[in-house]
Amino acid sequence: MKRSSCRSRLSRVFAAGLCLLAFSGAGDILFRDGFEKPVEIGKGWRKSWGPAGRSNEKAHGGAWAIREAPENRYGLSVWYREFNATPGAVYKASAWVFVPEQTFGVVPKLSINSLNWSTLAGASTRERGKWVKLEVKYRNSVNTRLRLQLYQAGQRPGMEGAVMYWDDVSVERELKPVDPKAGIRINPLVMKGMEVVPAGGMKITVKPGVMLVDGTPVTVPDATTFELQSPRRIEVHDEAAVLTDEAPRGYGRGTALELCRSRGTTIAGVLDPASLRIKVGKGPDAELYLEGKDWRADKVWGRVGRLPDGRIGPKTRVYMDYAVSLMRIDTLAVRSDGTVVLRRGNEHKMVPKPPRPDLYSAPLCNVYLPYHCRELTRDNIYPIGPPFPEPGQGELEAKAALIPKTRAKLAAGKDLTVVFWGDSVTCGGNASSPDKAFPLAFTDWLRCRFPESHIRYVNAGTGGWNSKSKLPLFDKEVLSHRPDLVVIEFVNDMGFDREMIFRNYDEAVSKVRALGGEVIILTPHFTRPDWMGAGAGMRTPEIRKAVGYLKEFGREHRVGIADASRRWAHLWIEGIPYLTLLDNAINHPDDRGHALFVDELKLFFLADPEEVRPERSAEPAMPAAKP
């Protein structure tokens, strides 16, 4: 068989494309607090050493502020909050502070710190008797969590009686665009060098450099070359079938080769075209039927059919030989001793997953091995960048404001009915179980978050339909349940123009609102690159016009948009070719893909989110050095 590069395979089956991806040009408010509501220590804000808490003695913007008093032994009090951080982002923090005129020796400081108390950026003041605004700015390099601290700088013993007040604290984040051409520098752990380049055939070379492993710079002194194994090839012999008269075309027409199937449909590119043979009988020496005279095939999609004028009759049993390939994602990582290692992932026909990193090692990049890969190119190399930057308080509050009735009912512990209206993805395709599909998975999350409410779940999805074809059934499928909240998902609407999108969604939303209900529209997941549009590839941003129309509709009609497509657009930055989340290799997500829908829907119910933080003691130990 002729050698084929991964690049040529991908270009034949899918369109390639690299584009610039940006998530936030303007600042995003991660959190802000004027302390007008009671503060529960440990949920967001924390304190250590000296006493600190809400007080109405002094306030800048409202009626309350934080009163902080250094303790006497160390002269220290720290009011702080930890938050998730994105490598490469710029963080701007501000806070107003007041130190009474009669208080001496207190130097209030606002700082952004690492979790080991090291100050990364800070600002302080010696002003007395007036409110002063402190501002700091920090460009994050590699930290995935940071700490905002409000405390006494230059602490010393004997400061009992000193006091300071903090108010109107905010942290803003600016995300820079991610450029696919940046190569390995997308990985925030790479400090120098570490380029990964093809070395001919299935070989790949990692060049020398420096990389952070568990926070420590590790030098890789020499280049390391690995030879990767091609994805496993599986041969099939003497598969019996009676061929259809239907002309084979695409994933659904003609007789399917069994090992070319995913979940009913067949998979583009999995078949080795040169391997297909159709025989009169069993065995390697059996007489062959002739392609083009006796049978025809769509070898991209793994489907065959008989020719009416050939030797294969409508009831003739034939025997087929062919070969298919699996896919795999391998990972290159750097250990704490500077050794570069290759970890092999599990092979799969549709949804391969990268291997878990070893302890005391840092992942550098993934290497994607598609079907029949025999030669590596730069297209196969996926540097592992930062995770998806979860939205901050500003976006969460804006989303919450779009479903006030739903949130009020849940907060009051009242009954709630949620109807999910959509296509086969709403039906659950191709989740491994109903509770992994996004409708029930999201409902279960709501039930856990609001246990006092009885939440009724209705799935009104229909496979193969779109919003236009389902609208005549809207009253029966949706409105008859008297929904409080309707979640709409239609990947099958992606071919509609603006007029159709606005007409269909306006009718649906208007009917729900007439009953007092509210609506959230999900932007759909990504599908096969050649279904996404011209120029789409594995590193594509969202380019479907219909997604833009959905967002425009949401803005104009004040309808909530759960933008799941942005999470799919971010997958390549995390080192994941998005196609490997499509369980039917076409348009149905696996459990991981359904979880991305849930992640977006959750945002409407996190207006006052608790910080996700690692397990730790409520009272930190005294730091070895002054913060």
The model's pLDDT over 401-425, given as tens digits with 9 standing for 90+, comes to 999 999 999 999 999 999 999 999 9
- pLDDT surpassing 70 at residue 368: yes
What domains sit in the chain, N to C, each tagged with a CATH number? 6-21+178-230+327-383 (2.80.20), 28-174 (2.60.120.260), 233-325 (no CATH), 393-605 (3.40.50.1110)
Q: Are 173 and 91 in contact (CB under 8 A)?
A: yes
Amino acid letter, 317: R
- pLDDT surpassing 70 at residue 39: yes
Q: Determine the pLDDT at residue 26.
A: 53
Please report the beta strands in 73-202, taking only residues with DSSP state E, as ranges in sequence order: 77-84, 90-98, 108-113, 119-124, 131-139, 145-152, 164-174, 190-193, 196-198
Name the region of 411 (left: φ>0; alpha: ψ -120 to 50; beta: rest): alpha
The model's pLDDT over 517-563, given as tens digits with 9 standing for 90+, comes to 999 999 999 999 999 987 778 898 999 999 999 999 999 999 999 99
Q: Determine the pLDDT at residue 562.
A: 98
Q: Before 430, cis peptide (omega within 30)?
A: yes
User: Which has more confidence, 479 or 19?
Assistant: 479
- pLDDT surpassing 80 at residue 615: no
CA-to-CA dists, residue 603 to 32, 169, 341, 393, 396, angstroms: 17, 22, 38, 10, 6
Alpha-carbon span 310 to 26, nearest angstrom: 66
Q: Determine the pLDDT at residue 471.
A: 98
Please report the beta strands in 408-517, taking only residues with DSSP state E, as ranges in sequence order: 416-422, 455-461, 485-489
Helix ranges, 138-199 (H):
none
The model's pLDDT over 72-125, given as tens digits with 9 standing for 90+, comes to 887 788 999 999 999 989 999 999 999 999 877 789 999 999 999 999 999 999
The model's pLDDT over 422-455, given as tens digits with 9 standing for 90+, comes to 999 999 999 999 999 999 999 999 999 999 999 9
